[in-house]
Amino acid sequence: MFTTIADLHQTTPISSQSSLLLSLIVLLPILGALILGSMALWSQPREQGLSEKMLGALGTLTPALSALLALYLFAQQLGQPGLQWTANLGTWIKVSLFELSFGFMMDPLSGLMTVMITCIGTLIHLFSISYMHGDRGFARYFACLNLFLGAMLLLILSDNIVGLFVGWEGVGVCSFLLIGFWFSDAQKAGAGTKAFVANRVGDFGFLLGILFLFLETSHFDFAGLQAGLAETPESRLAVIAFLLLIGALGKSAQIPLHVWLPDAMAGPTPVSALIHAATMVTAGVYMIARLHFIYSQTPSISLLIVLIGALTALMAASIALVQNDIKKVLAYSTVSQLGYMFMAVGAGAYVAGIFHVFTHAFFKAALFLGAGAIIHALHHEQDLMKMGGLRKKLPITHLSMLISCLAIAGIPPFAGFFSKDEILWSLWNEGLYLFWGMGLLTAGLTAFYMFRLYFLAFGSSYRGQAEISAEPLLMKLPLLVLGAGAVLSGFLGLPAVLGLPNWMEHWLSQVFGAHHVAGNMGLALMLMGVSVLVASAGILVALKKYARLQSAPAAATGPLANMLHQKYGFDLLYDAVLVRPLRRMGTLGWQIVERLMIDGAITFGLWAYKVAALMLRQLQTGSIRAYGHYLLLGLTALAYLYFTLHLPGVFRP
């Protein structure tokens, strides 16, 4: 069922090559963040901010340069299989025998991720220039976005798990800053805090996991970890795997730490596209894939991952059915797709998981940017019920979103079909039929709610009042590129079982080892047929229900719909179990410790001083002679003290 270390042995010999260009990929966006951040600070108190053109160009330049560098290094990797780029910027921590360096490492897995992140990041920066036009925090926005990209690349490219953790925390901070970007709105600021707190819960487990790893192996770098864990018994590995999984659950918004992601839509839409769809939330999947040598040895934890992934996928997909906010639909869809990825990595199909991360990044970024374009055109209207008939007004957006909807629904030959089917096929092949069924059901639901979104936004006629403005060029360009990606990226992983060349499998086998899926071609074709049928059924239901909608339909009622509207009560539960008790404890602490004890002590001290002053000021007569008498009194006391202490015999008779 699960491959062993021996199977994972590298097929191609690794040849490491050092290049400082690799560190530049990470450092460039961070440098950009520093420059833009100081510009933001400079322009904050001034009426007239800096020119948006300049800021936008600068903000997009660093990701673009990073993307070029990443493509250059990746192209060399392509030409020379087994090539692994490294860079070392010197020692970071040195404590007696233990030494940690600022090291970067780009193997086939992180190379693929880097290329994806930098390219999509650049496109989203480009899109943001139009989207954020006229915002007071323009410079701050680009600074945060650049910083995010730097942190994400650090997460991906670090050659040790501590660097990964720093990037992990860095993206968390940027996510917090960008969700609460419009912080004057208390609800949006609260959403940022919620995301941060939920992530912190996960990070706690992650950090413990890292410490246990160090305890076990005395290493932080991945190569050392892999070698050091070869002898570790499974029970201990399982503890580590579980702790690390908690971190992944927080970052990738899986049950029970998924509650932050839908709220994270409070941030600007391009941020949702970049951070909360394409890159950051996939960090958990990446981490599990990166540490595959742990998870492939712990079947129980892997099964837990599959279970969590399946539950999350199904739950989020069902909630998405009743959402009317265009961004909320996409948010739940993201949670659901992340569930797919978890199912894949849990089932040991790391290639399928990463493949889905890769394709998902394209079509989900396209969907979010499309949503952003719609929101921009409708002047910040996000309610699907007030859209409709946008096909004519926003042709490029429509095209890109149609492709992406088809892709996410799993209609061949769009990207989602290949990656999703790869996952379903792996589940079936591992004998996890129940989860295969859940995945299939989720696929049907996905097709339905995505086309519900599509028809509500683009079909029929316009139901809103807001004036529709045209889509700017800077928005069209990224939409087109990402739409093309949503069509083409699937061809990188054609199903091997049908005898087609699966480049993704081949490429990542350098990391995960050869993982030949021997299967029945007929069975595979049949399963594909079933999933395509289910997806088509979902689309058809949506078509029938929403395509010719004239006015907004009444909201669904009934116990099931209620439960979906309540999002299965997770928020209510957390509110009752965690938030309110904590708040009550805080109030108690405020009343007793702060008000009664600290303030009380100060107030009492003040009162005592007042009384003392009232008495002592009677002595301050203002008369010099009175002061002379006091002096005399003091002198007498001092003389008495001196004589008794130093001349003990003086008072003896």
Residue from 5, 576, 639, 641 in contact with other proteins (CB under 8 A): 639
SS (H, E, C) 60-123: HHHHHHHHHHHHHHHHHHHHCCCEEEEEEEEEEEEECCEEEEEEEEECHHHHHHHHHHHHHHHH
- The beta-carbon contacts of 562-567 under 8 Å, at least 24 apart in sequence, are 564/318, 564/319, 564/321, 564/322, 565/322, 567/259, 567/262, 567/319
Asked if 628 touches other proteins (CB under 8 A), the answer is yes
Strands across the sheet with 15-18, in order? Answer: 15-18, 83-95, 98-106
Asked whether the beta carbons of 312 and 255 are under 8 A apart, the reply is yes
Tell me how far the alpha carbon of residue 417 is from its chain's centroid. Answer: 24
Asked if 617 touches other proteins (CB under 8 A), the answer is yes
Residue from 38, 500, 621, 634 in contact with other proteins (CB under 8 A): 621
Using DSSP, state whether 44 is helix, strand or coil: coil
User: Scanning the structure block, which residue is given the tokens 């998981």?
Assistant: 353
Q: Which listed range, 161-169, 384-392, 559-567, 618-626, lies at the site for other proteins (CB under 8 A)? A: 618-626
Q: Which listed range, 30-38, 187-195, 267-275, 642-650, lies at the site for other proteins (CB under 8 A)? A: 642-650
Virtual torsion, Cα 113, 118, 121, 122, nearest 10 deg: -150
The DSSP result for 160-218, as a single string, is: BHHHHHHHHHHHHHHHHHHHTSSTTSHHHHHHHHHHHHHHHHHHHHHHHHHHHHHHHHS
- Distance in Å, CB of 604 to other proteins, minimum: 23
Binders of other proteins in range 158-187 (CB under 8 A):
none
Between 6 and 647, CB nearer to other proteins? 647
Measuring CA to CA, which residue among 389, 371, 377, 374 is closest to residue 327?
371
Between 184 and 620, CB nearer to other proteins? 620
Q: Which listed range, 183-191, 223-231, 549-557, 637-645, lies at the site for other proteins (CB under 8 A)? A: 637-645
Number of residues that bind other proteins (CB under 8 A): 21
Residue from 47, 134, 623, 653 in contact with other proteins (CB under 8 A): 623
- Distance in Å, CB of 642 to other proteins, minimum: 8
Tell me how far the alpha carbon of residue 276 is from its chain's centroid. Answer: 5
Residue from 533, 629, 634, 641 in contact with other proteins (CB under 8 A): 629
Asked if 645 touches other proteins (CB under 8 A), the answer is no
- Distance in Å, CB of 643 to other proteins, minimum: 6
Between 98 and 627, CB nearer to other proteins? 627
Using DSSP, state whether 45 is helix, strand or coil: coil
Asked if 609 touches other proteins (CB under 8 A), the answer is no
- Distance in Å, CB of 38 to other proteins, minimum: 49
Between 98 and 642, CB nearer to other proteins? 642
- Distance in Å, CB of 602 to other proteins, minimum: 24
- Distance in Å, CB of 615 to other proteins, minimum: 11
CA distance 109 to 510: 8
CA distance 179 to 188: 7
Binders of other proteins in range 309-338 (CB under 8 A):
none
- The beta-carbon contacts of 79-84 under 8 Å, at least 24 apart in sequence, are 80/15, 81/12, 81/510, 82/10, 82/12, 82/13, 82/14, 82/15, 82/510, 83/15, 83/17, 84/14, 84/15, 84/16, 84/17
Asked if 643 touches other proteins (CB under 8 A), the answer is yes
Between 380 and 652, CB nearer to other proteins? 652
Residue from 6, 186, 554, 624 in contact with other proteins (CB under 8 A): 624
Residue from 636, 641, 645, 653 in contact with other proteins (CB under 8 A): 636
Tell me how far the alpha carbon of residue 232 is from its chain's centroid. Answer: 31
Asked if 13 touches other proteins (CB under 8 A), the answer is no
Asked if 53 touches other proteins (CB under 8 A), the answer is no
Asked if 650 touches other proteins (CB under 8 A), the answer is yes
CA distance 206 to 200: 9
Q: Which two tokens stand for residue 547?
A: 């395509």
Asked if 134 touches other proteins (CB under 8 A), the answer is no
Residue from 620, 634, 645, 653 in contact with other proteins (CB under 8 A): 620
Between 134 and 649, CB nearer to other proteins? 649
- Distance in Å, CB of 616 to other proteins, minimum: 8
Q: Which two tokens stand for residue 191?
A: 């959403």
CA distance 304 to 309: 8
CA distance 513 to 297: 14
Asked if 522 touches other proteins (CB under 8 A), the answer is no
Residue 11 phi/psi, 5-degree rounding, is -85, -35
Residue from 79, 625, 645, 653 in contact with other proteins (CB under 8 A): 625
- Distance in Å, CB of 637 to other proteins, minimum: 11
CA distance 309 to 588: 39
Tell me how far the alpha carbon of residue 70 is from its chain's centroid. Answer: 21
CA distance 92 to 546: 58
- Distance in Å, CB of 607 to other proteins, minimum: 19
Between 51 and 636, CB nearer to other proteins? 636
Q: Which listed range, 110-118, 297-305, 532-540, 635-643, lies at the site for other proteins (CB under 8 A)? A: 635-643
Q: Which listed range, 94-102, 183-191, 500-508, 610-618, lies at the site for other proteins (CB under 8 A)? A: 610-618
Q: Which two tokens stand for residue 406?
A: 């088809």
Binders of other proteins in range 196-215 (CB under 8 A):
none
Residue from 54, 612, 632, 641 in contact with other proteins (CB under 8 A): 632
- Distance in Å, CB of 612 to other proteins, minimum: 12
Asked if 622 touches other proteins (CB under 8 A), the answer is yes
Interacting residue ranges for other proteins, rule: CB under 8 A: 616-625, 628-629, 632, 635-636, 639-640, 643, 647, 649-650
